[in-house]
Amino acid sequence: MSWVDVGALAELRFQPGAPVKLDGHWIALFRQGDELLAIDNNCPHASAPLCDGTVLGGKVICFLHCWEFDLRTGACDVGAQWNLRTYPVRIDGDRVLVDWPGPPLPAPKHR
């Protein structure tokens, strides 16, 4: 586990997701009841920020073309090749910590 402090809970800007940049990679934190869930922020379809999407039934719905992603698993309703990474989150006092494995490997280039 590699817990990274991403800020004070009171200072995160939920819109409904709160975007956070780690090693140049954007993730988004979402409130689900008393929990915080973290998922990659960029939609794999056309890179819209999922923090600006709509949260419904444990999923975030991208505002551009309505692809849906499960906030707990990162599963994409369009196909598993579009699944996103998710990250464990914990709160320590007023601080929010994300278990950050490092940025994803770059996608292979197509010729």
In the complex, the residues that contact ligand FES under the rule CB under 6 A are 43, 45-46, 48, 62, 64-65, 67
Question: What is the nearest approach in angstroms of ligand FES to the Cβ of residue 66?
Answer: 6
Nearer to ligand FES (CB atom), residue 21 or residue 65: 65
Question: What is the nearest approach in angstroms of ligand FES to the Cβ of residue 65?
Answer: 3
Question: What is the nearest approach in angstroms of ligand FES to the Cβ of residue 69?
Answer: 9
Nearer to ligand FES (CB atom), residue 55 or residue 64: 64
Nearer to ligand FES (CB atom), residue 12 or residue 48: 48
**23/45 Cα distance (integer angstroms):** 22
Nearer to ligand FES (CB atom), residue 2 or residue 81: 81
